[in-house]
Structure 1
Amino acid sequence: MTETRSDYLRQTFRLRSPWRAVSSMFMLNGALFGIWASRIPAVSEFHGLSPGGLGLLLLLMAAGAILSFPLAGRAADRIGAAHVTRRVALAYVLGLVLLALAPTLPLLAAALFVFGAAHGSMDVAMNAWASEVEARAARPMMSSFHAMFSLGAGLGALSGYGAASIGADITLHFLVVGSVSALLTLYMAQIPWVANPAPMGGAAKPSLLPRGPLLAVGFVAFCGAVGEGAMADWSAIFLVLTTGATEADAALGFAVFSVAMVAMRLVGDLVVTRIGAVAAGRLAGASASLGALIAVGWGSYGAAMAGFALMGIGYALVMPLAFSRAASDPDLPAGAAIASVATFGYGGILIGPPMIGITAELISLPAAFLILAALAVFIVMFSHVLRRS
């Protein structure tokens, strides 16, 4: 009996390996974001928001995340990325619930700021933890971690489809699905992990923005990230307003986009090995641009879903390619280079949704989506900067 229990405990510890621990945090981060994204139409309808009003509220969410970046980075350096990731994950779940509980626009704005700050903090901390795990394993892992984020986002969006289909209250949906997701993933993340101490000199003066050749790499990451952020917050509303889809059917849009991203990220390393980083970047930009044009040009639900899938395939490769190029930069250490490019990238994710909302208010939502097609063309044009040094 003692031997059986000992074997079971050893198997449990192996189940909670460093890769699975970090992957679970990426999955939780994506799931909470997908849950929110899938129910944006319902929240917008409840508060009577116009596209411009929703865009301004999403700008508050972006502000919360941007302000949290340096704080989370400093905390990860001083306390440990694993510790910060697990603690901020709880705050992220709380932020999701606050979004559903907010009865007025001012409270919704405050909740969005908190939600954005928690999302941004967890994003920084979990990527720092991922880089530690990757360094100790001495083999590439970052693409697989980002695939888990996309998988989590897709599952979160699917939960929105299910909840909307049965007419579930937003508060019940966010509370139940968010809490269950957190319990399962945080269990996997409970592993002993001691980070290597960060050099205090490097931590005191982080490189917030890319410089020199990395500026072009950051621009490529920005173009891709704007599309990712816009799809998360506007894909469902796009389907409702341009194709007449129901709320439940509209929730599937981001799910299709996320599943396409997961599939491409799982084979992304093989694609880059076969055709090279530059060709992969051009393929990514072309796929994303074509997808946006199809979604806008045909105006039907099926065409829009096909376009979303092509956009997911394209955007899936952009950030991993940009991070890989940054890590090989000859002038900066890998960590500093990746952090500077990530600032551009995640800034794009946050800027994209309010930019689409403001453009939709001034012109139209389909015209706003054409911005995504244009930015994807820039990815094709600048893909030569993705060649590893």
Structure 2
Amino acid sequence: MTGGTTIALPRADGGWAEVALREPRQWKEHPQPYAERVAFAAAHVVADPLGDNTPGAPAALDWESTLAFRAELFRYGLGVAEAMDTAQRNMGLDWAAVRELVRRSAEQARTCGARIASGAGTDHRDDAATLDDVLAAYTEQVGYVESCGSQVIVMASRQLARIARSAEDYRYVYDAILRQVAEPVILHWLGEMFDPQLAGYWGSADVPTATETFLGLVRDHAAKIDGVKVSLLSAGHERGLRAALPEGVRLYTGDDFNYPELIRGDGEHHSDALLGAFSAIAPAASAALTALDDGDLARYDEEMASTLPLARHVFGAPTFYYKTGIAFMAWLCGHQRGFTMVGGLQSARSVPHLARVFELANDARLLPDPEFAAHRMRLLLDTAGAAR
């Protein structure tokens, strides 16, 4: 019982709010996959609080907490999308740490009988100067992920975006990769709001033109593509794209602003899920997906609606710093010892922003121990010199 406990939280406008702690909800675990939708949570990594982890330093991880967090996601029936942008790819997680992360997580998933898909990119070859350099980098990472027994997610490449001069250049690289993969992969189209260096991906800044290039690639290699993950934060674009996909190719939504309606579907098409937001709202996402399996659309809508304000805040502009909110939620919920991140990224959001994360998580009853979470929130306020 919270006993009417309140916490004073700073607001972005300079004011303060007295927030009453809500009773935690007793969420039901669901270790099996869902019948109606495939759902992945893109998981963050837990930094070693005693590691260097300053900007530019090799990533030092708390492996016990990192893997325990994945076990938490498995308990709610979610697959893990590993070593993605949520895990700070291109924002501090180096290739050595990626290899170890994929290996350990794939082994854990096999032990738990859970699904895992892992990101393969080109980020270990920032010196890439030609398309063949990019292709070689992709080939190395794809081969490594496959060797660990994980499904491959072919991530968008900063190096390719820098080098490519046309849609044909993208096709040259992706055609070669898709011809050689052993099992169907997930293609990842990450928008520039998540990574400004990916602007103009697929050879055009015009989204409809880029979409035609992307669809052409998917149609030509449909047998090698399990699905596509699209993170453009445009529900209208996603609905049009998924309707145009070849039969058997899934659309894994990466839209952390509009996922409830996209996963629910329109009666003819629906999106599956590969979302960073699901790492922060796993129990509620599980309740919603269970309701969908039960055919209870009203309950699905209610469960998902409770999570949307939190997700939209965590992924607010500048969106690429959403990882800070994900790690902060994990700290509030007791999944990690400290609020510290690879590359010092815990400093990427303001104290009022993080206070709002607390408030919205409390509103959604996603804090398993509100008194404990409030204690940690007060510690942060004290440390920041923001205590009232």
TM-score (norm 2): 0.29
RCO comparison, higher one (Cα < 8 Å, 6+): 1
TM-score (norm 1): 0.29
